[in-house]
């Protein structure tokens, strides 16, 4: 299963990517929404995008809106991973089409629990948990 | 000019910093505590984010600043990037990692103020940029893995 980690911080891309890789995902990285859209064009079978909110070039909310406007990416799960914890911002992201919302700081376990709830854990991890 | 009617306690800041460090750096363990007294830092590094708050009384900008020694910031960076202790850390990596910690602390401080708000990108510098009129709001002196670190909050009154 493919996942795109979208965050302008290389540190955060490494941390989130490492957590997802350990769960069995193949990781691609993008430093803003425009780069992520290009990756989605190249990998339309991407199962998951984790998305920071505040990024240069294209922010996370705009990325979610762009993805949800295209039918070809309807199967891709979008999860915001951000410090934006204001209730109104969470509602905006979910209304725009994000499936889940994880507030920084987080633990690898928190990521796994969210993905388990969404039913998109890679089969190898599901088998380990069974 | 707005009055300074936002309140953030030392305990709230401590709780936020402990949560950030435990989750991101210390495998869930709490290894950062309030210091008994402030420590003068040599070769200090500052990381901050600004919060634009749209309060009922009008707009206000708040700033959360983390300060520690460059050596401790390098330890934070190596821990976050999962690199070896003797591996060199570039300033770009240092700014990215230490800035991200400031981003998480500032973002969670922002959530304490129940008002629509925006968070800036983090800035990391050896010098604090306090060129505008900033008023002191709160600070907290901490010890992480025996190394000093501080968090301070400032506000900038906005003329309507």
What pTM was estimated for this model as a whole?
0.92
Q: Confidence band (pLDDT; 50, 70, 90) for B31?
A: very high
> B107, A9: Cβ pair inside 8 Å?
no
The complex's ipTM works out to 0.90
Instruction: Name the packing angle between helices A60-68 and A33-42 (round to 10°).
Output: 30
Instruction: Give chain B positions within 8 Å (CB) of A82.
Output: 107
Whether B149 and B71 have beta carbons less than 8 Å apart is answered as no
Structure tokens at A77: 């799960």
Please say if the pLDDT value at position B19 is more than 70.
yes
Interface of A with B in 19-48 (CB under 8 A): none
Structure tokens at B58: 């009008």
Is residue A83 less than 8 Å (CB to CB) from chain B?
yes
The mean-pLDDT minimum among A30-39, B110-119, B143-152 falls in B110-119
| Interface-testing mutation among A5, A8, A9, A52, with chain B (most B C-beta atoms within 10 A) | A9
Q: What is d(CA B39, CA B35) in angstroms, rounded to the nearest whole number?
A: 9
- Nearest-Cα distance to chain B for A13, in Å, is 10
Whether B83 and B66 have beta carbons less than 8 Å apart is answered as no
Buried b (16+ CB within 10 A) or exposed e, B69-80: bbebbbbbbbbb
Q: What angle do CA B108, B114, B116 make, to 5 degrees?
A: 90
The pLDDT tens digits for A107-129 are 999 999 999 999 999 988 888 88
């Amino acid at each position: 299963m493919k996942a795109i980690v979208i965050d302008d911080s290389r540190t955060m891309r490494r941390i989130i990517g490492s957590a997802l890789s350990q769960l069995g995902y193949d990781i691609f990285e993008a430093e803003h929404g425009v780069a992520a859209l290009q990756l989605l064009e190249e990998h339309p079978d991407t199962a998951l995008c984790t998305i920071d909110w505040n990024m240069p070039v294209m922010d996370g909310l705009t990325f979610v809106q762009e993805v949800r406007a295209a039918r070809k990416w309807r199967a891709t799960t979008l999860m915001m991973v951000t410090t934006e914890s204001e209730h109104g911002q969470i509602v905006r992201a979910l209304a725009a089409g994000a499936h889940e919302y994880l507030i920084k700081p987080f633990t690898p376990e928190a990521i796994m629990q969210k993905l388990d709830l969404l039913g998109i854990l890679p089969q190898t991890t599901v088998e380990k948990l069974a | 000019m707005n009055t300074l009617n936002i309140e953030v306690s030392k305990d709230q800041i401590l709780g936020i910093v402990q949560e950030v460090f435990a989750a991101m750096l210390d495998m869930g363990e709490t290894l950062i505590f309030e210091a008994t007294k402030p420590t003068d830092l040599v070769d200090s590094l500052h990381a901050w984010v600004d919060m634009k708050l749209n309060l009922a009384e009008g707009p206000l900008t708040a700033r959360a600043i983390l300060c520690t020694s460059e050596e401790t910031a390098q330890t934070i960076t190596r821990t976050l990037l999962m690199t070896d202790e003797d591996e060199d850390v570039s300033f770009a990596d240092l700014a990215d990692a230490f800035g991200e910690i400031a981003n998480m602390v500032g973002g969670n401080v922002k959530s304490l103020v129940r008002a629509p708000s925006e968070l800036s990108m983090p800035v990391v510098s050896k010098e604090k940029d306090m060129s505008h009129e900033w008023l002191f709001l709160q600070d907290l002196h901490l010890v992480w893995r025996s190394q000093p670190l501080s968090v301070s909050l400032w506000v900038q009154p906005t003329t309507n």
